[in-house]
């Protein structure tokens, strides 16, 4: 009978068996730390950068460029770009509240010939000659309390405009003819609070502007004389505001074809026809407030004659005779003249 192995040899044997067993078993990988699921990162589609020359032009005009000017909304809502490649181009620029040391550089403006819309608000800088490419590319121009003083000849260079607005900026021109002479695409014209002066013969509308003009506002100027007959040739007109001028004479018959009409604060006399078609068409009168529906006439009085354009005294007599026909023809005549009686 053999003696039992020494205790030390027995321990060495057990340790060797344990190590061998661990080496033969597959190792289980340590699980990764638990994390919350994250949505895949969505990258905005890359866009072309702005033309470097236009970027430099913006800097000269004190427009911030630390952020891409083409990203909307742009700083101060000043810029809009197209989607052209390899570089983008500015198509709209709005300059507002500029500092007194701003200078409109001809070279900077020349770099911006891609603009379609250009507007100034509270920019008290002097106007400069615009590059011809920029003048021809613009379809919208707005100047409000800016550029100190403009001339009709200066404005007339923007021959492709569809929208022209000048307000609270003096305009030196003998009427609108000088400004509109070659604007064949103009749809909206607003020249208000501009100290525009003109006699009747100077306010004739050129043939070019008679094609497309729909909205006309020459309010708060110094226009005098009667409303020009040439305005009747602008067949597309729907909105006319000639308020706060020095116009006199009778109210032309063709104004009855409008939808919006404001003639307050003038020296005009006479009446407008209030027939069925006129009542249906007219939406705003004088102060820009909606008119109450006028009661319809039950007789054939909707058909008005040239006597609608008599003076106020004759209209009063007609009103007394025909007051059973609903609203009298003198209704609008009194509204036009009321401002002169205040």
Here the tokens at position 341 are 């009686």
Poorest-pLDDT segment among 75-84, 167-176, 332-341: 332-341
Q: Give percent of the chain with pLDDT exceeding 90.
A: 44
Residue count (the chain)? 342
Residue 309 pLDDT class (50, 70, 90 cuts): very low
Looking at residue 71, what is its pLDDT?
92
Beta strand spans in 6-130 (E): 79-81, 90-96, 117-121
Residue 193 pLDDT class (50, 70, 90 cuts): very high
Cα separation values, 306 from 8, 299, 322, 329, 330, Å: 137, 18, 16, 12, 14
124 vs 331: which has the higher pLDDT: 124
2 vs 172: which has the higher pLDDT: 172
Q: What residue spans define the domains of the chain?
A: 102-341
Here the tokens at position 109 are 């403006």
Cα separation values, 44 from 71, 74, 82, 89, Å: 11, 17, 17, 20
Kindly give the pairing relationship between strand 188-192 and strand 163-167. Answer: parallel
Looking at residue 270, what is its pLDDT?
77
Looking at residue 311, what is its pLDDT?
41
Looking at residue 250, what is its pLDDT?
87
Per-residue pLDDT tens digits for 318-336: 444 444 443 333 334 334 4
Q: Which residues contact 117 (CB under 8 A, 6 or more apart)?
A: 80, 91, 92, 93, 138, 139, 140, 141
Q: What is the mean pLDDT of the chain?
A: 76
Per-residue pLDDT tens digits for 32-85: 444 444 444 434 445 799 999 999 999 999 998 999 999 999 888 899 999 999
185 vs 273: which has the higher pLDDT: 185
Here the tokens at position 218 are 């020459």
- Look up the CATH number of domain 102-341: 3.80.10.10
Poorest-pLDDT segment among 95-99, 128-132, 223-227, 255-259: 255-259
Q: Which residues contact 46 (CB under 8 A, 6 or more apart)?
A: none
Place of tokens 């920019």: 123
Q: pLDDT at residue 125 above 80?
A: yes
Looking at residue 273, what is its pLDDT?
60
Looking at residue 290, what is its pLDDT?
40
Residue from 170, 108, 163 nearest 134 by CA: 108
Poorest-pLDDT segment among 89-93, 150-154, 249-253, 319-323: 319-323
Q: pLDDT at residue 27 above 60?
A: no
| Mean local confidence (pLDDT), 286-308 | 42
């Amino acid at each position: 009978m053999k003696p039992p192995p020494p205790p030390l040899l027995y321990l060495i044997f057990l340790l060797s068996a344990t190590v061998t067993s661990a080496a033969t078993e597959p190792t289980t990988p340590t699980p990764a730390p638990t994390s919350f699921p994250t949505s895949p990162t969505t990258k905005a589609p890359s866009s072309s950068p702005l033309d470097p020359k236009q970027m430099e032009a913006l800097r000269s005009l004190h427009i911030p460029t630390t952020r891409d000017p083409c990203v909307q909304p742009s700083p101060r809502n000043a810029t809009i770009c197209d989607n052209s490649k390899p570089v983008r181009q500015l198509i709209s620029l709005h300059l507002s509240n500029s500092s007194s040391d701003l200078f409109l550089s001809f070279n900077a403006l020349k770099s911006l010939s891609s603009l379609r819309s250009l507007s100034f608000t509270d920019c008290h800088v002097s106007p400069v000659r615009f590059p011809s490419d920029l003048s021809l590319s613009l379809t919208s121009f707005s100047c409000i309390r800016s550029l100190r003083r403009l001339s009709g000849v200066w404005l007339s260079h923007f021959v492709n405009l569809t929208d022209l607005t000048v307000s609270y900026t003096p305009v030196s021109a003998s009427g609108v003819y000088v400004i509109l002479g070659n604007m064949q695409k103009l749809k909206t014209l607003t020249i208000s609070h501009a100290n525009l002066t003109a006699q009747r013969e100077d306010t004739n509308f050129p043939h070019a502007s008679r094609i497309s003009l729909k909205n006309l506002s020459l309010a708060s100027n110094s226009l005098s004389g009667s409303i020009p007959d040439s305005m009747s040739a602008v067949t597309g007109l729907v909105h006319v505001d000639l308020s706060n001028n020095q116009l006199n004479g009778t109210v032309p018959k063709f104004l009855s074809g409008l939808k919006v009409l404001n003639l307050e604060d003038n020296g005009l006399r006479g009446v407008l026809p209030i027939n069925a078609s006129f009542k249906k068409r007219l939406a705003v009168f004088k102060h820009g407030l909606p008119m109450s529906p006028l009661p319809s006439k039950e007789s054939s009085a909707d058909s008005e004659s040239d006597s609608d354009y008599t003076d106020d005294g004759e209209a009063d007599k007609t009103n007394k005779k025909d007051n059973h026909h609903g609203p009298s023809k003198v209704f609008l005549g009194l509204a036009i003249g009321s401002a002169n009686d205040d």
